Every structure is written in structure tokens, then in C-alpha cells.
A and B are shown apart, each in its own frame.
Chain A
Amino acid sequence: MKKLQEPGRQSPEIESDDFLSSRVQRRSFLKYAGAGAAGVALIAAGCKKDKNSDIGGGVNLGSGDIAILNYAYALEQLEAAFYIKVTATPYSGITANETTYMTDIRDHEIAHREFLKGAIGAQAIQSLEVDFSSINFTSRDSVLATAMAFEDLGVTAYNGAGYLLKSAEYLLLAGKIVSVEARHASLIRELISVNTFLGDQVDSSSVNISRTPTEVLIIAGKYIKTKLITTGLPS
């Protein structure tokens, strides 16, 4: 791995131009070329200078079980922030039932977020800065499609990280959360299209798919501005 470049080595003008173009590039890569480019940005966060990050180079998830919990905490922060925004600025035509569901789910995600923060204690990562610029919060389609993506992603994330945990207690607590995420996913999918509660989230044996932390962070990276240093994540 390359050492971090000293910040401020370039002139402010170049820094600024470079910053803009790299932001735009990343955006378009994410949007049009799939998630690969964002993944590189995230994974390489620990060893490559990025003008968009803190001087320290990003937020370190730590190692071992703490890293897995911080990873979950990052995802719950993202989900909670999303539903807080959804309920603060509801999409046009939202029904009373949908308002109830969104408010319920918001509170569940806040509960998950605060629980993980408390469970991790002093080693918890800071509050992350999110990027929801790709979401149209006035559009039901846009909001529900994003909700579905987040809920499905959350399920695959907990399922894919379960075996990495060394503590049976943490595994049980993750299990208590993941089935609630699956319930959310099922509901959101039904709100979008009836009888899609399993949809493309199961394989030919009707087992829910799972994703490695690396795969998850590539997808979630689109919505997280803060750099995450993931080098200590077990794999």
C-alpha cells in the first residue's frame, strides 16, 4: 500500500479542479458503470489520498467483531438517515398507511443505530455524512425503490457477515435485527409490486442471497460521503 500523500502538496486551484472532476467521475461511474469504481474508492480509502475525506484519511471501522459491528452501525446510520428524511419530506401522494409504515421503519432503524452505537461503546465510529442526491424524495417510485435497495442490502449484509463474528452474543443480536430488516424488505416490495416479497433476493433453493462486506460497501458507497477504512474488517 502507498503511504498517504501529504495534503496541501498541490496548489489550491488544482486541488479544487481535481476534486470536482474526481467527484463527477465517481458519480458517473456509479451511475453508469455499475458499482466497481466506488468499491475501489472505499476499499482503497486507507491507502490512497482522497481530497474529499478528512485529513486523517477517513473513518476506521477497527478490527475483529468491533469492525463488523461498526460496519452494521454504518449501514443502520444510512437507513435511519434515509427514513428520517422520508418522513420529514413525504413523497407526493403518500397514504396514511404508508406514512405509518415509514414512521415505524424509521424508528426501528433508529433503534438499531442507537443500539449498535451503545453496544460498540467507545470504539463506535462517528456519525457518517450521507449523500442522498440521487434520490428524488418527492417521488414515491424513487423513495420506495431506494427503501427496497437498502432493506434488501441490509439483509444480505447481516447474512454475509454472520459467520465472521466470533461472539455468539453478537451473532444472536445481529439475528434479532436481520429478520426485522427482512420483514421491512418484504413490506416495501409488496408496496411496489404484489407478490415480490421474495423476488430476486432468493436463489434456486429459496435461500436469501448474502453479500460480503466488500460487496455491500461497494453498493452502499454511493450514499456514504465519509470515507470508511475497512482494512481491519475480517474476511
Chain B
Amino acid sequence: MNIVNILEEIEKVDGDVYERLSPRRKAMKDFFGMGSKITLAAMPMALGSMFQKAYGQTVPTGVVNVLQYALTLEHFEYNFYLRGYNEAPIPANDKPAIQIIRDSEGKHVEFLKTVISSLGTTPVAAKSSYDFSAGTGTTAGAGNGPFKDVFTNYVTFLAVAQVLEDTGVRAYKGRAGELLGQKVYLTAALGIHAVEARHAAKIRYMRRLNGHAPNLKVYITGANDSGVPAADGNYAGENNVVQGGLTVTTFPGVSGNISVNAASEAFDEPLTATQVLALVAPFGVS
């Protein structure tokens, strides 16, 4: 991610970004001219002041908090796939998909770091280590938790991947409201949210095709369809069939009303930041 990338990103959702940054084209040209001369280390500072001038008045601090929260989770996901790709016994057929997802999470990390830096804030760092076994109590941090074979057993690896992706979708959804009306930041967050959902669906489909969970769907059916009892909290509330006060199972379908399963599948549910942080705490995420 470089300055041109980030400007292109922003331009997609804010066509006036260049005008906002500088009403005079010459000044923009000067900036880019200078960009080639200043060091990489100095770039975030230069970016920060530039963006603060353009957006500083209109970006509430809550936006930065949401972005830092997102980055915290993306660091975790990226490190999960980074290690998993290298260590887990992934069949050759599935390797490309895991690589795509790993790289996708890596790009989210870089993207969020750049955006947070551009707002004049230091992005949160990845943890020096995570406990991907999700140990708690006496096994906390020891790699001895319920998923201790996550990098030696492919069945466990994909199951944990599913839970993490589905939880990621819920995490973004739960904080979208804090970005209400924020064209640039909300649109970017929704864009990542959708990609997490695409990941989740792919992982679920792989579990189905591999026979790990032969009846699993790419959408979430009921309260916890992962087959991982430890993940009940990650799926709490996903069996909801009442949306905005309307009971989905009363809607007429093609033959009879919409079923309970379809009603739960058709809507993904949010989790609050408090819920998500409690769920990922055993992995060493904070």
C-alpha cells in the first residue's frame, strides 16, 4: 500500500478527495514530487497531516477506535493463516484457497494500518504471540487449549478457520453503526465485512466438500452449526428469526412459509465489541 493506492481507495468513495486535499492542482503535484524524495518513515507523518487537514474536522474519534478494533482482529486472523499455511497439513487441493485467504487478511492489515496512520494515529501492533489453541485457565497461553491440534489436524484447522471468519463478519457488523454516514470509512468497513463473509462461505464449503461436515451450508443455520461446542458463544443469537420486529417465519414462501432454517440463514447477526473481545481473549487477542 502506498500513497497512490490509498488515494485511489479513497477516491472510489470520495470523488472529491483530491480537491479536498488541495484545491489547487499545483499543490497536489508538489506533494507527489516531494513524496519521491522523503523517506518511507516520514510518509505516515506527511500523510497524517495531509489527511487531518482534509478530513480532520469531520472524523470523530470513534471512527479511529473502530478501525483499531478491526486491525486488532485482522492481525489475529492474518497470523492464524500465516502459521496455518506453513504448518497445518493442508491438502494440495486446498492450499491455493488458504493462500488466497491468508493474503487477503494480510492486505486488510496493511490497508487498515495505512488508513489509521493517515488519521495521525499509531496503528495497533500484532501480538508477539497468539495461543491458537484457545487455552483458558491453567492452560492459558500454553498452546494446550481445546484446539491444541489446530496446526497438526486439518479438520481442526478448518473448523477454527470457520469460527474465526464467521466471528469476523459478526464483529464488523456490530460496529457499523458507529461509522454511520462516514462515506469513506463505513464503505471500506462494509467492503472488508463482505470479504470476510466470502472467506467464511469458502471455508464452510471446503469443510463440506472434504467431508468434515458433509451437511454444512455456506450460510449459518441455527445457533451453532460449526460442530465445535467451544464455539457456542461465537454463534450465540444466530438462530434469530425476528428482524426489525417482523417474524421471518411468517413470510409466505413458495410452498408454505419460510422455514426456521432459511429464516436464520437469511440474516447474519452482529456481536458487540465486548462479546467479540471476550471470545478472542483465549487466543491471546486483546
Contact = CB atoms under 8 A, between A and B. Distances in A.
Contacts of A173: 243-244
Contacts of A110: 251, 253-254, 258
A210 to B, nearest CB: 6
Contacts, number: 198
A204 B5 contact: yes
B196 to A, nearest CB: 8
B270 interface: yes
Interface in A173-189: 173, 175-187
Given A155-B194, A180-B219, A207 B270 contact: no
A205 B270 contact: no
Contacts of B108: 205-207
A204 B107 contact: yes
Which interface residue of A158, A162, A185 has the most chain B CB atoms within 10 A?
A162
Nearest to B268: A179
What 9 A-B pairs have minimum CB-CB distances, sorted nearest first?
Answer: A186-B201, A182-B197, A207-B191, A114-B251, A208-B194, A107-B262, A179-B197, A205-B111, A168-B177
B26 to A, nearest CB: 28
Interface string B232-266: 00000000000110101001111000110011011
Interface in A193-235: 194-195, 197-198, 201-210
Contact of B9 (A84, A158, A207): A207
Given A111-B262, A186-B202, A176 B254 contact: no
B103 interface: yes
A119 B244 contact: yes
B188 interface: yes
A107 B191 CA distance: 25
15 contacts: A112-B266, A115-B246, A159-B191, A168-B180, A172-B177, A175-B172, A179-B169, A180-B197, A181-B194, A182-B198, A186-B198, A187-B201, A198-B195, A205-B1, A207-B191
A43 interface: no
A122 to B, nearest CB: 15
A160 B201 CA distance: 22
A176 B270 contact: yes
Nearest to B5: A204
A112 B268 CA distance: 12
A176 B241 CA distance: 12
Contacts of A165: 180-181
B207 interface: no
Contacts of B104: 198, 202, 206
Contacts of A98: none
Given A163-B187, A175-B193, A87 B254 contact: yes
Contacts of B173: 172, 175-176, 179
B159 interface: no
Given A108-B219, A187-B205, A210 B191 contact: yes
B267 A176 contact: yes
B188 A207 contact: yes
A201 B193 CA distance: 13
Contacts of B100: 195, 197-198
B131 interface: no
Given A162-B190, A175-B176, A186 B197 contact: yes
Contacts of A205: 1, 5, 9, 107-108, 110-111
B75 to A, nearest CB: 15
Contact of A206 (B107, B253, B258, B268): B107
B191 A183 contact: no
B198 A175 contact: no
A134 B96 CA distance: 34
B244 A183 contact: no
Contacts of B199: 186, 197
